[in-house]
Amino acid sequence: MAGKRHIDDISDYADEIVKAIPKGVLLTSKAGEKVNSMTIAWGTLGTNWGRPVFVAYVRKHRSTVTLLDENPEFTINVPAIADAGAAAGASGENRAARTREAARKALGICGSMRGDEVDKVALAGLTLVDSDVVSVPGIAELPLTLECKVVYRQEQELALYPPEIQASYYPQDVDGRATGSNKDEHIMYFGEIVNAYLIEA
């Protein structure tokens, strides 16, 4: 059974998290028995209203929006980082390599398929780990975990963006169900980070 090494101050891992986001992390949501993970490469780690928060950006026609609006909780799942406590020696190095490969596979699947069409968690072979505070699980293959409760939701206004951003990131000739850039605006979910830890094998 997986253990957890709790993180008292998430700012200790801010550099690793911020560097990981553009390469891809998972946002996992759950409503009822449905669990879905999507790859995100946009996100903000910071402080709002005196609380540590992670701001996630989700296009409005993603299946994740349905889950988040039904159950306003999520986890952010970050791939393994150097010196995260892996065992020393060849066995530890082999385990770390397997974890990196599993994370790479998961990010590919969860960033290219829709959760209302396939079970991405099963397809990616992800190992769900019960969270301590929220109802949404963490993922063993992406062990750095932020448990978040949504405290604010805001739809973005496309007209307020500079024209070059509209053209690059919100092309109006691409259907909103397409993965990647499309005509849909993002919804910002401000999640208060209520718990953080590293999942350990």
pLDDT digits (tens, 9 = 90+) for 58-113: 988 888 999 999 999 999 999 987 554 445 555 556 666 777 888 888 898 888 87
Topology (CATH level 3) of domain 3-200: Pnp Oxidase; Chain A (2.30.110)
Percent of the chain with pLDDT over 70: 89
Q: Name all contacts of 80-85 with Cβ < 8 Å and 24+ positions apart.
A: 80/142, 80/143, 80/144, 81/13, 81/16, 81/20, 81/144, 84/143, 84/144, 84/198, 85/5, 85/198, 85/200
User: At a CB cut-off of 8 Å and minimum separation 6, what does 78 contact?
Assistant: 16, 17, 20, 25, 142, 143, 144, 145, 146
Task: Output the CA–CA distances (angstroms, integers) from residue 32 to 35, 70, 135, in the order listed.
Answer: 8, 9, 10
Q: Which pLDDT tens digit goes with each residue over 135-189?
A: 999 999 999 999 999 999 999 998 998 999 989 888 888 776 666 677 888 899 9
Global pTM value: 0.89
Q: Which pLDDT tens digit goes with each residue over 20-68?
A: 999 999 999 999 999 999 999 999 999 999 999 999 999 888 889 999 9
Domain residue limits, the chain? 3-200
164 and 42 Cβ atoms separated by less than 8 Å: no
Considering only residues 2 and 196, tell me which one the structure prediction assigns the higher pLDDT: 196
Give the bridge partners for 35, in sequence order: 30
Backbone φ, ψ for residue 191 (5° rounding): -105, 120
Q: For residue 136, how many C-alpha atoms fall within 13 Å in the half-sphere facing its CB?
A: 31
Q: Which pLDDT does position 1 carry in this prediction?
A: 56
